[in-house]
Amino acid sequence: MIPTFLLDVPRYVFLTGKGGVGKTSVACATAIHLARHGKRVLLVSTDPASNVGQVFGLHIGNTITEVLAVPGLSALEIDPDQAAEAYRARIVGPVRGLLPESEVKVIEEQLSGACTTEIASFNEFTGLLTGDEAVAGFDHVVFDTAPTGHTIRLLQLPGSWTDFLNEGKGDASCLGPLAGLDRQRTVYAEAVAALGDPARTRLVLVTRAQRAAVAEIERTHAELAALGVREQHVIVNAVMPRPAGSDELATAVFEREQAVLADLPPALRDLPTDVLALKGDNMVGLDALGSLFEPGVDVDALDDGPARPVGIPAGAEVLGALVDELARADHGLVMFMGKGGVGKTTIAAAVAVALAGRGLDVHLTTTDPAAHLTETLAGTVPGLEVSRIDPVAATERYRETVLRTKGATLDDAGRAALEEDLRSPCTEEIAVFQAFSRAVNEAKQRFVVMDTAPTGHTLLLLDATGSYHRDVVRQMGQGGAYTTPMMRLQDADYTKVVVVTLPEATPVLEAEGLQADLRRAGIEPWAWVVNNSLTAATTSDLLLRRRAENERAEIAKVLVEESHRCALIPLLAREPVGVPALAALTTTAAPATI
């Protein structure tokens, strides 16, 4: 049976969702399906952690490349870093030599952040949405990763950014990127119109049957629908089929996912929805991708046996071992970073509970607007303070401060321009940075355990931190006496960054990209945590054991190539909610190694 999202397909299909939900696999399978039905298809990835080439087993770069094994199919990977570099060159080049070097450096600084990369990536595929000759011969263009609501809001902001840039001196981190948008505002308007035209574009929200992943697509649905992108479908990927036996873990996973499916948010319940079954093997290669939309389970001759851990690679630790190391100090910043849906909030809460349980003073906080720390804890612990850096409240305080100070000296036109700038979504990043800086400084006296927002937002936060640091250095000089938040983050004794991922190819690839970004900023991750591992779980279910075998290569890759300090957390029959369950995460004995 053909999934509903593949019926009457418009020319453009965008797939979006959290890292690790199988978005790339679904995009590749979609492109193969359309090509095998006689269509000429271009598969485009705008994901910085794209593994489209890995899925097809060939090299795909920034030029349209034929997938010879699938007649009619071609692919293209838009490299965000290359796109950003070209974008910077187009904006800075014309003014170099005309403006003083100091002003050119200010513009370059404004163009150094993640906002620029996001806009530049959209700039690259704008042509694909507005009739670029390169895609004229294709019946369908399938995008692996849609533009975010953040990007679309930036493109819809009115007014003369160039004029305000001369007055504003970079008060918002996106002023630099936006300075170049006026030149192509008509083209961008046409692209945004194409995204909102159901006859031309379909948005597919890809999720897993997990509450956090569903909450993410619920937010995406509402945000993009409000911006005019209303032709939306839902795919719930990799859903556990009803177990054949009585394995406790398999039964618990099945029942948990069915409960999520039965309780989809009202906003999603009315959307056309397809449910795809969990497969035993990784979705790599044409045979595997060709079976993705087929029902049934592809488990064959695995020897049946008693319920037991598959056996993890030597060198992996339990979460409690990381807590033991952290507790040797009596203060410091512990930051958990990673893509959405990998379990950062749960792991951060577990570590905070364990540290407080040892009599240490701990502040558990989050920069993630979607985090639910209080629900995860479901209780209190002596010595543990819990808070949230509220983006809405922080932004409102920041706006009021800027209007009261800088706005007081402006005329009506200048104040109107300032108010317009402060409506930019990037204003939120700066406001959150200020609250974040206060939390970083607080770690001088006690432990601050921080659950960060998903990777893209965290990198924007680090951009703001780096920009502030460079501004201080310029003003104070290299020999000045100062300590910036970035210097705190770069201090390995003060800050411990823990990268959280899942034992699957795409989440590990994305975590590697995050680690590379951190290292470029002079921040060396302290440890990795691989969450929800079947390899470390106890199961006799053949499907889960097949998937556990496939995890081992990813876990070994983390241990050998990425981190000498890595904790493995098993997939649990019951979600770790509440203080006792969280405490158990750091007291579990190490599983057997092989």
Mean pLDDT of 350-367: 94
Q: What is the pLDDT of residues 14-34, one digit of tens each?
A: 888 876 788 888 999 999 999
Q: Please indicate, yes or no, whether residues 261 and 353 belong to a single structural domain of this protein.
A: no
What is the mean predicted confidence (pLDDT) over 8-13? 93
> pLDDT tens digits, residue range 188-203?
677 778 888 999 999 9
pLDDT in tens, 64-89: 889 888 999 999 888 777 777 877 88
Tell me: do 171 and 57 sit in the same domain.
Answer: yes
Check whether residue 219 and residue 282 sit in a common domain: yes
Query: What is the pLDDT, as a whole number, of residue 208?
Result: 92
pLDDT tens figures, 443-495: 999 999 998 865 555 555 565 555 655 555 555 555 555 567 778 888 999 99
pLDDT in tens, 36-53: 999 999 999 876 555 677
Determine the pLDDT at residue 529: 96
Would you place residue 370 in the very low, low, confident or very high pLDDT band (cuts 50, 70, 90)? Answer: low
Kindly state the helix (H) or strand (E) to which residue 52 belongs, with its residue range.
Answer: helix 52-56
**Which of residues 47 and 136 earns the better pLDDT score?**
136
pLDDT band at 113 (very low <50, low <70, confident <90, very high): low
Residue 491 class from Cβ within 10 Å (0-12 exposed, 13-18 middle, 19+ buried)? middle
For residue 381, pLDDT beyond 50: yes
On whether the CB atoms of residues 398 and 434 are closer than 8 A, the answer is: yes
Q: Do 262 and 223 have their domain in common?
A: yes
Q: Both 134 and 270 in a single domain? A: yes
Q: What's the confidence (pLDDT) of residue 425?
A: 59
Same domain, 530 and 428: yes
pLDDT at 167: 45
**Whether residue 448 is found in the same domain as residue 337:** yes
Percent of the chain exceeding pLDDT 90 equals: 32
Instruction: Say whether pLDDT at 141 is over 80.
Output: yes
Domain finish residue from 272, 290, 308:
290
Is 382 inside a domain boundary?
yes
Q: Does residue 551 contact residue 504 with C-beta atoms inside 8 Å?
A: yes
Give the C-alpha separation, 289 to 43, whole Å. Answer: 14
Mean pLDDT of the chain: 80
- Based on the domain organization, do 281 and 400 belong to the same domain? no
Query: Of 153-162, 363-372, 522-531, 540-549, which gets the smallest average pLDDT?
Result: 153-162
Rg from Cα positions in the chain: 24
Same domain, 580 and 449: yes
CA distance 95 to 107: 10
- Residue pLDDT, tens place only, 510-528: 888 888 888 887 889 999 9
Task: Tell whether 591 is covered by a domain.
Answer: no
pLDDT above 70: residue 278: yes
Nearest-angstrom CA–CA distance, 129 and 13 = 11
Q: How confident is the model at residue 350 (pLDDT cuts 50, 70, 90)?
A: very high
- Position 148 scores a pLDDT of 54
Most confident range (mean pLDDT) of 251-265, 272-286, 385-399, 580-594 is: 251-265
Q: If you average pLDDT over residues 259-268, what whole number do you get?
A: 95
* CATH number of the domain that residue 138 is part of: 3.40.50.300
- Structural domain total, the chain: 2
If you average pLDDT over residues 88-116, what whole number do you get?
75
Residues 335 and 284 in one domain: no
Q: Is residue 196 part of a domain?
A: yes
Q: What is the pLDDT of residue 347?
A: 95
Contacts of 432 (CB under 8 A, 6+ apart): 367, 389, 391, 394, 395, 461
User: Which residues participate in catalysis according to the annotation?
Assistant: 20, 22-25, 47, 506
Do residues 328 and 376 both lie within one domain? yes
171 in Cβ contact with 41 (< 8 Å): no
pTM here? 0.74
**Range of 246's domain?**
4-290
Q: Assign 149 a pLDDT band (cuts: 50, 70, 90).
A: low
Whole-number pLDDT of residue 299:
53
pLDDT band at 305 (very low <50, low <70, confident <90, very high): low
| One domain, residues 51 and 98 | yes
